Amino acid sequence: MVHGRSLYAWVTAVQLAAAGHEVTLLCESEPDDEVRREPRLESRAQALSGEGLLRQISVLPEHLPATHFLALASSATEPLIERAEAVLASTQGALTLVVLQATAVGTLDALQARLAAQAPGRVITVLALPLFIRTGQALDDFAAPALLLLGEPVPGAGDRVHDALRPYSRQARESLRMPLAAAELTKFAVNAMLASRLSLMNELAGLASRMKVDIELVRLGMAADPRIGPDYLQPGCGFGGPSFTEDLFRFAETLREAGGQPGVLDAVLRINAEQRELPFRQLWRHFGGQLRGRRIAIWGAAYKPGAASVESSAILPILSALLAQGAEVTVHDPKALPALRHAFPQPQVHVAATPLQAAQGADALLLLTAWPEYHNPDYDQLLNALRQPVLIDGRNVFEPATMQALGFVYYGVGRGRA
């Protein structure tokens, strides 16, 4: 049985069913928005339901199986404990709980001890299966993971679960098994490392601007070093996402508690918060602080291409700042406009059906999400649509020299004008 309404829960349920297991998905309320927007996920769930491999329920039944995958709210420990205790009370004999979303390092060791104390004599096994899946390609990431990581209280405790995942562990580039706390720490540490690379590149981009150095050349040089590689080296206007950023803030708090003072991850998060405001600062400086009454176009609201969420996206602080300055804004995004309209119902925020429609009559265009739809616009039409040819590229999608030759006033991140 899989518990939860999150993307983690639904992807796990679907992929376990696709591997031939009979799966019950306990989703007590409407699925998270990420579930509805994930490509192929709901249609695949419906197909597997039709084949009798996946059953969806909304109430915890009286008779439960022996193995449960838990993917509840990642921001709190209490729901995880409550669900684990409810399952324990409703089952007999051996029980295995596989936790997909740990809330903090040490959570699962504590849960294992707590459940064992409540049911002495029963074989109770708590496992960690931290998923490294990305919105927009979650099914593929589960099916062929870069890392399949299984945490277990003692070696061999997770053998049956590992066997159940065999179709996917065979496709994994790396498959590791380790103690529970080590698995929890590994998941948080991976996220922290990726965020650190991004924030370091953004800090270097600021220095490159002041030195009049093209950060793209620096990025290529760093990526050419095999000790570094090319991944997560693209500077831009900050990272975001619902679970990624939340995990980072929680892990930073854990590190502060352990070290007693702010550390590297606190600096990473500070740099990211500043970076998300960079396009607004470039716009402010270009117009000398005179933004009242200006029309601003924005391409991209989602926190990354392929996503429909605006949670922790760069558009949130930028829109707040623009509205506070009295600007009028028109936004285009292929997927995230409903989420944006929910976050910003103000009449000064308009939505456009096409990128070109968003740019019509605008004094400046800000590109905040690197959707493929924005990479090759009709430049003549874009220049004609804009009232002023100001382009602020928060994702370094375009080449500065090309854009300047076409007649744009171009600002990039560590490229073009500082």
> Is residue 251 included in any domain, yes or no?
yes
Pair (256, 321) in one structural domain: no
What is the residue-wise DSSP string for 136-165? TSHHHHHHS-SEEEEEESSTTTTHHHHHHT
What is the residue-wise DSSP string for 235-269? --S----HHHHHHHHHHHHHHHHHHSS--HHHHHH
Pair (193, 314) in one structural domain: no
**How many domains does one find in the chain?**
3
pLDDT in tens, 93-143: 999 999 998 778 899 999 999 999 999 999 999 999 999 998 889 999 999
The DSSP call for residue 30 is P
CATH code, domain carrying 51: 3.40.50.720
Pair (210, 347) in one structural domain: no
Domain that holds residue 60: 2-172
Pair (250, 281) in one structural domain: no
Pair (160, 54) in one structural domain: yes
* Cα(315)–Cα(276) distance, integer angstroms: 8
Average pLDDT over residues 154-170: 95
* Cα(11)–Cα(73) distance, integer angstroms: 15
Lowest mean pLDDT among 202-206, 243-247, 348-352, 385-389: 243-247
> Is residue 179 included in any domain, yes or no?
no
pTM over 0.85: yes
- Pair 164, 71: CB distance under 8 Å: no
Pair (168, 195) in one structural domain: no
CATH code, domain carrying 200: 1.10.1040.10
Match 């960079």 to its residue by tokens: 278
Pair (334, 379) in one structural domain: yes
| pLDDT > 90 in the chain, percent | 84
- Higher-pLDDT residue of 50, 243: 50
Give the containing element (helix H, strand E) for 331.
Answer: strand 328-332
Q: What's the pLDDT band for 418 if we cut at 50, 70, 90?
A: low
Helices 78-89 and 107-118 sit at what angle, rounded to 10 degrees?
30
The confidence score (pLDDT) of residue 241 equals 82
Residue ending a domain, choose from 172, 201, 233: 172
Pair (168, 234) in one structural domain: no
Which burial class, exposed, middle or buried, applies to 175 when counting CB atoms under 10 A from its CB (0-12, 13-18, 19+)?
A: middle
Residue ending a domain, choose from 274, 291, 306: 274
The confidence score (pLDDT) of residue 73 equals 67
Q: What's the pLDDT band for 74 if we cut at 50, 70, 90?
A: low
Pair (270, 281) in one structural domain: no
Pair (363, 343) in one structural domain: yes
Residue ending a domain, choose from 274, 292, 309: 274
Average pLDDT over residues 5-12: 94
